[in-house]
Structure 1
Amino acid sequence: MASGDDDDPIIQEIDVYLARSLVEKLYLFQYPVRPGSMSYDNVTHLAARIKPKQQKVELEVAMDTMSPNYCRSKGEQIALNVDGTSSEDSNVYSTKMMDKQTFSSIQATTNTSRYAAAVFHKGELHLTPLQGILQMRPSFSYLDKADTKHREREAANEGTDSRSEHERQYLYCQAMDTTENTELVKTPGEYLSMLMPPLAEEKVAKPMGPSNVLSMAQLRTLPLGDQVKTLMKNVKVMPFANLMGLLASGTDSTAVLRCIQQVALLVQGNWVVKSDVLYPKNTCSSHSGVPAEVLCRGRDFVMWRFTLERTLMRKEVAAIIKLPPEDVKDFLEQMSAPRLNRGWEFLLPTDHDFVKKHPDVAQRQHMLWLGIQSKLEKVFNFSKDDFVPKKDAQMEPVHISGDHRLKSARENARENHGAMQRELDARRLKASRYTGSSGESGALVQVKQEPMSDSEEPMDTSGSLTNGSINGYPNSTSPVSDPHNGHGHSFTPELQDFVRSTFQKHYVLCLSEVKRLFNLHLASLPTGHSVYGHVTDRMLQDTILQSQCKQILVPFPPQSNATAEEQKVFGLWESGETFDKHRQVLFEIFMKNYRVRRNVIQTRLTQELGDAVTKTDIDRLLKECCMSLGGMWYLKGTVPS
């Protein structure tokens, strides 16, 4: 990918703005029967007429009757055919010569949502959406007027009686033979069927619509945005496929996606109506009188929790949002159903097909939920760590049986006992090194170490790292306890040195990459040299956080295939040099988006650190901490495979 970027470098980045002053007023005129080199820019425009709703335009432009290419005799003849010999104000050509031409429009396309007019000014690109694209073609309505004059002259010269008698003959049936005239020869049953034909059955079954809204015929008379809002306000939770089925056939799905994002949020691949649509400003709860603003916050919390798991407990929700029970019940009934001994389960199954088909929409919704989550944390005073999403919420029940709890408790007790025993053995080993044969402390006694067999090598099935007998010898040194780590874990100074030196070299690493580098380091140690002890994932993470590093909460997209260890990203926060400020700003940027453009990084650095930030600084920062893919920059280790 790096070589591909070198072949096609970014040469310029341009800011794009959306101008709305001429929205619904800007049209593009095309002249398909005229070469591009012969424009109408310098032609005198005499009149213009427009029907905005029909997007119908007529233009009258002057013709150069003095041009050597103009046939004067033809122009006079056309004017005579159209206006006759009379001189009236209603004449088309007042100069008795065809001295003007009319252009009439037809629509080139009915959907102009993909087109805009652009103006490039001072390094900025300003876009205005087009209301319509019209093709202007010459109108020959003057020939119709000439034909009308001709028919009027013929009628005046022809006898009216003999002409009317000729037309009257067409009122009589021309075929009197009954064998050919079969239209009136029907049986009573056939005649009745003609009067009352049977109703045609619907072959395509459409999803049921809400019973308390307008009829579907009335609904479809509304603009598309109002149709979507009305349906979502009454149904409240709906898959996108069902929404398309309720709309008129042929409705553009892209336009529906734009409308649905205005009135609903994506929860488990399904659309749930926004809280402010159900509870507008200056309204209150019909149950408790709670203001709409407070109701919206509480309902947003319920929706956010359903983005993390399939089921919720009503008491748990009520304890956090602190709203009356009737309002909490309303929130849950709108988007979930009660399940026996399982709490409230989200109404619809997760729509994975929609997320796969529209990853861009899913990513925008994910970023939107991150912003909502941040606001909810401040309002309700909780941490996102309090609600850790399960790996498969659909397969895990809310309540765990007593037998299962007892089994888990016994397993935890055995693990804790094993850990305590290992720590006790290590302390005894350490004490034996500093105790002589007479029992007096202070005399260093070398302890002979014997190699362990393969069957005695310690195993760790919890995903932790262990030095063990990787070089053929058991652990020889017990970890040193650090009372300041806050977790009661122990790690050696050697482990801290390894972590510090690793991050000073790589700057950004995910947990899985740190573990890989640590295993390589262990394999490179001389035989018998083992000073790290039993290292678990938690010990390694604590050591990283104690080594001037911080975890960078990168908002990975929902469709990311990164593992849990790959999503735990750490960066060197402080190294003692002034360039630390640059890295800290960069890490804060990546806490809001998992991929960004270079100009965003440059702008943010300039805002935070001033104009002293140079291109060399940005190049160094990106080289140390980031990787490029498709014109976007990612933190190292977070580039999608």
Structure 2
Amino acid sequence: MASGDEDDPIIDEIDVYLAKSLADKLYLFQYPVRPSTMTYDDVTHLSARIKPKQQKVELELAINTMSPNYCRSKGEQIALNVDGTSYDETSTYSVKMMDKQMFSSIQATTNTSRYAAAVFRKGELHVTPLQGILQMRPSFTYLDKADGKHKEREAGNEGGDSSQDEAEDDVKAITVRFSRPESEHARQRRIQSYEFLQKKQAEEPWVHLQYHGVKDGRSEHEKQYLFCQSMDATENPELVKTPKEYLAMLMPPLAEEKVVKPVGPSNVLSMAQLRTLPLAEQVKTLMKNVKVIPFANLMGLLASGTDSTSVLRCIQQVALLVQGNWVVKSDVLYPKNSFSPHSGVPAEVLCRGRDFVMWRFTLERSVMRREIAAIIKLPPEDVKEFLEHVAVPRINRGWEFLLPSDVDFIKKHPDVAHRQHMLWLGIQTKLEKVFNFSKEDFMPKDAPQPAPVHISGEQRLRTAQERAQENQSSLQKDLNARKQSTQTGNIVHFKQEPVSHMEDEPMDTDFPSSSSVPNGCVNGYPSAISPAADHTNRNGGSPVTSPSPELRDFVSKTFKKHIVLTLSELKRLFNLHLASLPTGHNLFHSISDRLLQDTILLCQCKQILVPFPAQTTAAADEQKVFGLCETGETFDKHRRLLYDVFTKNYRVRRSVVQSRLTQEFGDNVTKAEIDRLLKECCSSNGGMWYLKGTFQS
């Protein structure tokens, strides 16, 4: 938690709901020429109309002619100028006096995505987006009508003696002209002209509206739509934006004038623009451009301080390891439903052919182009493109892999190298079925054979005697153990479980080992399990392997450090621990999932049955969550209570945890205790708290 939170505590939490019933109908009217204390609520509204596309509104309001502030003579003069002395249905003022005024709107802003109307009720804030913000100002169109009447009268007075001129006009010749076709430039100028825009605005018809006052029953009914009609969480998802993203939504940056940037070559990548992308996109973009790169060089291209573990996780999604270097995957270069730019071959066929080329480079430094083409049977242009991605031509040696083998990376990350090796074995199996070949077909014919080992008869005899002595001592120990257990009334079972035991599959530690030890063994020897020990099969089967002291020590220390872990995260930490051990150390070899979970339970931990949602994307190991319960301190009861809260829901609010602790332990629970509890066991996202490792983006 930030240190500033102590000086700025959270007073209350308010649920915010998005109401959409009036989202496309709600307008905000502003009256900038009138004080806020003088509203038009009590003024009689005679008519209202709107042009929805232009968001143009006109309101006709009555004027109180009986007010002492109203100048009657001036009102009569205005009506006379507008309508003249004759009165009919087209007259603006039917009572020979200016008794009404027109308000016309202009848009205060064209982008209303940042504005909304909100109402607060019973601790809930309901927000409705605005369709438009309009400023209502008095319209003086009646003056235009009066000016038109004045011009008509002047024209009538001047046209009395024009009969002579008209007679002369009758005998004049008429010249007929045909307009030339309108050019594109002239058409654009005409469209942008004020006259054309006025004409387009006039073409949209007015939609007449019925006005209801503030206290009218219909208005009260419509106001109810300002509240969210559906309180279902599925239709009103909670805000999961980070504070920085939420502020950017509320106050987006001002749109700057776009500067036309020069178009660079397609193979040139802007590092400044690259580093604005997420890490996974940065790695993918780099790999698509470079095709093959050592891991150290890749780290050099990324921003300083980038976590290498995160980069390793990202690179394995878009690239494969070839001779210690990373080569971009074929499906990244040739996405689904795409085709070869040279021959039009579908992407699926291209990926198979390129995978074969990459697989060959995992076996040898150089390949021959004609051998590749004879097997994958693709056009020469595509085969050449595959080779140019990862190799360079050498005289009389075919195509040699572009980079030297990165032995340092393989030594530093043996778990990654082993995982990539297993992945290549799976790819090899698929390629063998598609192209009908075997790995032995590509082994060099003149490969050096191992020299035969000659063992003399004396050496064989000495070895046999040593083995016999070892077996005899082992049998003697077993016999002594049986006698001792018989005297104490306990029966000791020595049983070596078969490798194919369905309930004790070995855990995939992704760590290369030089030997294979069967399941049910500890350090290579059969295990002796007493029925009194609580390590038996939960389903009533045969007893399982007992955890070694070293394994229990590792699990205990790990949980004391992390408090809450998923089975998947514990496996990852276990792999890192194995990688840090000296070469040849096989103390933890062949640890099964069940043995690891039993060890967790023996280390004062418990499994937390988190109710993940049905549509979760978490793997099975990520849904197995364990938490440390007993450390010998009084704070253990707080953790146990928190684990119980997370058995009801996979995510909770801080207020829920606080209220549950207060309910259980009274008002003695401090903010520091709640902060420590959430920091040790949980992670936060979008205002919600999740157990460590259980948040799914």
Is TM (by shorter chain) over 0.5? no
* TM score, norm. by length of structure 2: 0.41
